[in-house]
Structure 1
Amino acid sequence: MPAVEQPEPAPALVRAIDRYLRHIALERGRSPHTVAAYRRDLARYAGFLTDLGREEVAQIEAADVAGFVQALRDPAGSGSSTAAAPVGAATTARMLSSVRGWHRFLLEEGILQQDVAADQKPPSQPKRLPKAISIAQVERLLEACTGDEPMMLRDRALLELLYATGARASEAIDLNVDDVMGGDDQVGGAVRLFGKGRKQRIVPIGRYAREALEAYLVRARPLLSPRGASTPALFLGARGARLSRQSAWLVIRAAAERAQLDVELSPHTLRHSFATHLLEGGADVRVVQELLGHASVATTQIYTLVTADAMREAWATAHPRAL
């Protein structure tokens, strides 16, 4: 389907959305990445509303919210003149969450007297188990980052930290040097991570990650730092600026190619592997929840399904009376 340009959203809708985005950024402490995602979702919603002739927030009806969800899943059947390509259930659920958050804000602020999005349910999604790699594959990935070159020392430190802490890629690249806490031979140290909503948590890193970080900080970062403006960032790019999310993704992809791992990897793969390996090793699910920075233990419990599947597969393969 060819791309169709959205109409310019009505000024009143734009102002209401901007007010909400300032609220989640300043009062709720949402990250710039999260605010940008909300902005994109709500811009599409505002374009849909404008196409319906809605120019004020008071004109929005519950049927409009339902129509927006329908237009996301089935643009051709929505009747909208600005129908774009269809999106999946997960993306629809995320965009509806943005819409519902905005409408809830309008109600709380007294701008509207009714939340017309409150009863709109997201589409059901197939249960997806997190993708994790084996411990042996993790070791191959880490060993693919060897050498004394500054970039290789940085890459090894980054991957060791991602696996040691289960940090999100955004949390790792947002680290400053002062967020790394020292340790000794028995205690590897820890890092101070800032998760969603800038919620702080302290996560141990272990000896391997600590040694990789020390090697990077002593032998590599001083060579990278003078190339750019002064920054407290822990992980630096080739030009001395804070490492980007895209660069972090490229680091792990390059390491996977060198390790000849025939699996698709991303920085989140190490987070999934961290959680899965902890649970397989007997860690309590609530401890893993705290380490991952999950607000709800239900999110962490998804990983127990991964380990249960692995146990069932091993049983079916090895037990003499499995078949």
Structure 2
Amino acid sequence: MKPADWIDGGMTPPRRLPADTDAALAYLADTLGHVVYTRWTLATIRSRYPSLAEAKVAHPAVMRQLLDHAVVIAYWDRGLVRTSAIDDAPTPEVVLQRVLRTHRRRFKLSSEAGLPAATGEPIQEASRETTALATVPHLLIAWLARAGRFANVASATNTLGVGNDAQAAALFLRDRACRSPHTLRAYRTELRRLVTWCEAQQLGPLSDLTRHNLLAYRQALRKPAHDAVDDRSGPVAETTQARALAVIASLFRYWTETGYLIANPAAGLVHGGRSRASFAPQRMLPTALLAACDAWVTEATNDIDALVIARRRAIWTLYRYAGVRLVELVWSDGAQLPRLEVDCSDDSECWTLHVLGKGSKTRAIPLPALCMPILKTYRQLRGLPPQPSPYEHAALIHGLKGGSLHSSGLYDEVKAIFAASAERLEKTDHAGAMRLRSASPHWLRHGYARQLVVEHQVPLPAAQALLGHASVQTTAGYAKTDLSQLRAFVDQTFSDR
């Protein structure tokens, strides 16, 4: 395959790669913001740097190789910059193909991108609705492939541009749930639950349901008949009821806001304020157990590769001191997030983590100074400069087999830290070890929030912005996890009596 057969879908409009291999490699290095394939000689070093000492600081691995070889190649491989003598390095063509495959969500062959290789003219592209239908369970598509009396199919205000509930539901799942596989699975379950109830009540399609129908569904969730909402006997749990109603309310709100429905029959179906007001997280680790995990992460070396250790420390540091959700450290090609940003002023470095949160909302989280050396070490072992550039497009956390580390890998890394720390504490603190083994990465987010709200009394709006909560009531819920402030107020009030 020639470089010109590939299309860069990240540009507007999409752009074909240069036909020459060297030019294509230069283009990739410029657009991705990291080394792709660079040929180094002593002459090249002297032309780019005032002295060999400065070159050694900037490219230590290259300078070590140049002591024994006339030509050294620095190339991108599986999220890392590697250096080898030219005889040992892969060819430019091989590196080019590997990088394009690694970034296959952005770079596609002409046939895959809908562009003929010869002319470069766009051909008819499959509709986004057809593509999105893949996210809907196949058994539901036939039942959903209708439009009810409240569907706004022919109107220009139907911004979804679809003609039935199946397509509209697919776009809802894509826009509101596809960021997390767990959320997508939960939304599918609740969609199937509502359809099952509608079939039992001989109602449907969904765009035909009235407010009276949805109130009846809510009542059925609370006291389900044996053949209505669920195949299992007995009442549906309160948490399941809340989730089911929240998903359905979100579906109809999305359809109304996008113009697919002329009105929202689910308005007021969920009283979110009451559930948020009762929120009081309990799953978090005490300071002593967090300190034990910190100590293990700092001391752990064993015989593990230095890069693997550095990556684990970086992952732990970001979850521990940024309070992010698990999925918020998963790389998104479309948004180019998460990423690090450095602001250097007054001889100080200020690092900020930018993430993509719930509802595709971006959030900026300032990082404490103790994170910087850990992140710098990890970046340098990957072959990246210590400080990220504004034009860098490398995944924040790389995968050992290429690309980026996904949510399951991130989860496993944090759980490995909990397990190793628990093993160390087993003999001295059995209860603490058991608690560590039951912990998950989200417990670190709860601990971060509690440290802000309870221990340091950060103003609730500021804590809300750092945590990315939709409601300040959720942030305030962390204050309920500690009675020390209330006890102090009581003691001060009645101390003179």
TM-score band (shorter)? 0.7 to 0.9
Show CA shifts across 1:288-315 (max 9, x none): 11111122211111112223x2456899
Show structure 2 runs of 5+ residues with no match.
1-138, 148-162, 385-392, 423-431
1:71–1:78 CA contact under 8 A, matched in 2? no
Change (3 A) 1:82 1:303: closer
Q: Does 1:141 align with 2:293?
A: yes
Change (3 A) 1:186 1:306: farther
| SS state at 2:370 partner | helix
Aligned counterpart, 1:306: 481
Aligned counterpart, 1:240: 402
Change (3 A) 1:300 1:253: same
Structure 2: distance between partners of 1:111 and 1:188: 45
Q: Does 1:293 align with 2:487?
A: no
Match of 1:267 among 441, 447, 453: 441
Q: What is the identity, as a one-letter code, of the residue corresponding to 1:80?
A: A
| SS state at 1:144 partner | helix
Change (3 A) 1:204 1:12: same
| SS state at 2:264 partner | coil
| SS state at 2:146 partner | helix
Q: Does 1:129 align with 2:278?
A: no
Show CA shifts across 1:209-267 (max 9, x none): 22221222222578xxxxxxxx8322123322322222222222221121124313111
Q: What is the identity, as a one-letter code, of the residue corresponding to 2:146?
A: A
Aligned counterpart, 1:152: 309
Aligned counterpart, 2:93: none
Change (3 A) 1:106 1:207: closer
Q: Does 1:54 align with 2:229?
A: no
The offset of 1:15, in angstroms, is: 3.6
Q: Out of 186-195 and 53-62, give the one that drifted further.
A: 53-62
Structure 2: distance between partners of 1:167 and 1:239: 25
Alignment map for 1:74-89 (pairs within 5 Å): 74-75=223-224, 77-80=225-228, 83-84=231-232, 87-89=236-238
2:165–2:205 CA contact under 8 A, matched in 1? no
| SS state at 1:207 partner | coil
2:214–2:265 CA contact under 8 A, matched in 1? yes
Q: What is the identity, as a one-letter code, of the residue corresponding to 1:300?
A: T
* % identical equivalent positions: 23
Change (3 A) 1:81 1:274: closer
Q: What is the identity, as a one-letter code, of the residue corresponding to 1:181?
A: E
Aligned counterpart, 2:318: 161
Change (3 A) 1:73 1:285: same
1:29–1:198 CA contact under 8 A, matched in 2? no
Show CA shifts across 1:39-70 (max 9, x none): 44223212321232224345424443234334
Show CA shifts across 1:163-186 (max 9, x none): 111111111223768811236785
Aligned counterpart, 1:3: none
Structure 1: distance between partners of 2:399 and 2:294: 19
Change (3 A) 1:59 1:282: closer
Change (3 A) 1:201 1:117: closer
1:154–1:220 CA contact under 8 A, matched in 2? no
Whose strand fraction is larger, Structure 1's or Structure 2's? 2
1:151–1:220 CA contact under 8 A, matched in 2? no
Aligned counterpart, 1:182: 342
| SS state at 1:44 partner | helix
Structure 2: distance between partners of 1:164 and 1:90: 30
Change (3 A) 1:312 1:259: farther
Structure 2: distance between partners of 1:151 and 1:310: 41
Match of 1:11 among 135, 145, 148: 145
Aligned counterpart, 1:31: 179
Q: Does 1:45 align with 2:194?
A: yes
Structure 2: distance between partners of 1:92 and 1:221: 50
Change (3 A) 1:212 1:12: same
Structure 1: distance between partners of 2:191 and 2:398: 33
Aligned counterpart, 1:101: 250
TM-score norm. by structure 1 comes to 0.77
The offset of 1:284, in angstroms, is: 1.8
In the alignment of these two chains, the number of paired residues is 302
Tell me how large the CA RMSD over aligned residues is. 3.6
Alignment map for 1:216-235 (pairs within 5 Å): 216-220=378-382, 232-235=394-397
Show CA shifts across 1:131-185 (max 9, x none): 3223332222122223263322211111111111111111122376881123678
2:200–2:227 CA contact under 8 A, matched in 1? no
Aligned counterpart, 1:225: none
2:180–2:327 CA contact under 8 A, matched in 1? no
Structure 2: distance between partners of 1:58 and 1:180: 43
Structure 2: distance between partners of 1:250 and 1:288: 28
The offset of 1:32, in angstroms, is: 5.3
Structure 2: distance between partners of 1:51 and 1:221: 60
